[in-house]
Structure 1
Amino acid sequence: MEIVGDGFIARHLRPLAHRHPGTVVFAAGVSSAGSVAEEQFAREAELLYTVIRRCTADGRRLVYLSTCSAGMYGAPDGRGREDEPVFPSSAYARHKLALEAVLAASRADHLVFRVTHLAGPGQRAHQLLPGLTEQIRGGCLQVHRGAYRDLLDIDDAVSVFDALMAVPEPPRVVNVASGTAVPVEDIVGHIERSLGTVARKTYRQVAGAYTVSVDRLAHLVPEVAERIGRADYYRTVIDRYLSATQPAAPAAAEGTR
């Protein structure tokens, strides 16, 4: 398969490059769910339009990575289902949903994976776990009390992508998530316990609870969905991230070895 992009997700997808011939995975574009930069949105849109035209012309299937963040599914009356209307609350989610609509209106064979918050080595500093971990190591952080996040390890995400692309005639849109949105305070607490430190905190109250339905994912790839659907799965994600990104111990000075 062809992978469009060279960022965090694209790099972790490279081991699958020899699989799924006739497929193009669009793993490029805006990487921050908090982005409001119109020029970034415009660049992603123009690149996607180009890839849609190519896939329409040569008959390849296009896989687009969208979002199932709180910005997409955070409406109070939302159930987080792929087959129901959604009312995005963030500029980033509105941008992603608009590009989904372009794909749906095109003649390209396509799939949309609405992806949750991923974690793993090689992420940019502004992403959730790198940002929280760096602040905690620095001794202080601001906690968004009332915010929730659904975490998924990048290796598990790649396994899900691989399995979904092998499903005969899959649905057009699939949520790729654990299905459990965890309070950010619990995420911070587990990072602190794992690092053996407690940071000084300031708090900002937000409204951030949301639901992501993984019923469709569980039906399509039950063996993966069961593994990532445990209530304490987020701790596994954090532990893997910290293990993979632990700073190397300083080398012993000459004469002390």
Structure 2
Amino acid sequence: MDIIGRGFLARQLAEVAHRHPHAVVLAAGVSQVGLTDPVAFAREARLVRETARTCRETGRTLVFLSTASAAMYGAPGCTGREDCPHPTTAYGHHKRALEEVVRTAGCAFLILRLSHLVGPGQAPHQLVPALVRQVESGSVRIFRGVRRDLVDVRDFVQVLDHLLALGVTGEMINLASGFAVPVADVVTHLAALLGCEPRREIVNLGGDHQVSVQKLRSLLRWGTSADYRATLDRYAPLYSSRATASGARPH
């Protein structure tokens, strides 16, 4: 596969790239759920249109990585199914619009709505690196009742590898574990793992959401691991200031 991008997901996909010469994966673009920058949105939109046109002309499959975050499924009463998105932020509306660009571009496509992936080399603004930094600082802000679905990035690579090997196209699929864990529980586990006991500031401004994995499991007969503690154990220490100093690696 051709991988467009050089970040966290692009690096992880390199190990299976040789298996799928027919695919082009867009692993670049806006990744900050709170972003509202129209310039960044426009830049990604141009990249998506250009890549879709190239895939149409060359007969290749475009894999577009969208979001299954609260930005897409955070509206009250949303079931988290692929056929009923309810974007709640500028980022969510932006990704939803790009999905439609891909879907109507005339090329073969596969759209994956990704939950909160966890792995090595993530950007500081992403969930686990940000929480580790807060835990070690001694103060964590937690939105009451909010849950997040955590997925080991290795599961993401394996799922995409299998979907492409099966020739799945023309689908929009949530890639998540199906188990949303309270962020308060994530913080508790991180605190024990890192040997810290931060002060918790509870805020009543959060929005909960869930992600359905029914379609994913119907296509593969299996999905991703729901063992969020093992995922945190594997990767969270990489973002500790102490681990950074000692050059820790995932186990």
| TM-score under structure 1 length normalisation | 0.90
Contact 1:147 1:206 in 2 (8 A): no
TM-aligned CA deviation for residue 184 of structure 1:
0.9
Cα deviation digits, residues 145-204 of structure 1 (max 9, x gap): 222111111111111111111123455111000111111111111101111210012221
Give the structure 2 partner of residue 234 of structure 1.
228
Give the structure 1 partner of residue 186 of structure 2.
187
TM-aligned CA deviation for residue 206 of structure 1:
2.4
Give the structure 2 partner of residue 254 of structure 1.
none
Distance 1:249 1:16 in 2: 28
Distance 2:101 2:164 in 1: 21
TM-aligned CA deviation for residue 42 of structure 1:
0.9
Sequence identity of aligned pairs in percent? 44
Distance 1:76 1:184 in 2: 18
Distance 1:206 1:221 in 2: 37
Contact 1:117 1:149 in 2 (8 A): yes
Contact 1:167 1:220 in 2 (8 A): no
**Quick check: 1:196 aligned with 2:190?**
no
**Quick check: 1:57 aligned with 2:57?**
yes
Contact 1:146 1:206 in 2 (8 A): no
Taking a change above 3 Å as real, the CA distance of residues 196 and 238 of structure 1, as seen in their structure-2 partners, is same
Distance 2:116 2:244 in 1: 29
Give the structure 1 partner of residue 75 of structure 2.
75
TM-aligned CA deviation for residue 249 of structure 1:
8.6
Distance 2:98 2:244 in 1: 45
TM-aligned CA deviation for residue 141 of structure 1:
2.0
Give the structure 2 partner of residue 90 of structure 1.
89
Give the structure 1 partner of residue 173 of structure 2.
174
Give the structure 1 partner of residue 249 of structure 2.
none
Structure 1 window deviating more from structure 2 (2-11 vs 208-217): it is 208-217
TM-aligned CA deviation for residue 222 of structure 1:
2.4
Give the structure 2 partner of residue 30 of structure 1.
30
Distance 2:236 2:100 in 1: 37
Task: Please provide the CA RMSD for this pair.
Answer: 1.7
**Quick check: 1:43 aligned with 2:55?**
no
Contact 2:108 2:170 in 1 (8 A): no
Secondary structure at the aligned position of 1:54 is classed as helix
Amino acid at match of 1:16: V
Secondary structure at the aligned position of 1:146 is classed as coil
Contact 2:189 2:229 in 1 (8 A): yes
Distance 1:16 1:93 in 2: 29
Distance 2:189 2:147 in 1: 14
Amino acid at match of 1:69: S
**Quick check: 1:101 aligned with 2:100?**
yes
Amino acid at match of 1:240: R
TM-aligned CA deviation for residue 6 of structure 1:
0.7
Trace 1:73-152 onto structure 2 (pairs within 5 A).
73-82=73-82, 84-152=83-151
Give the structure 2 partner of residue 18 of structure 1.
18
Distance 2:70 2:244 in 1: 37
Give the structure 2 partner of residue 214 of structure 1.
213
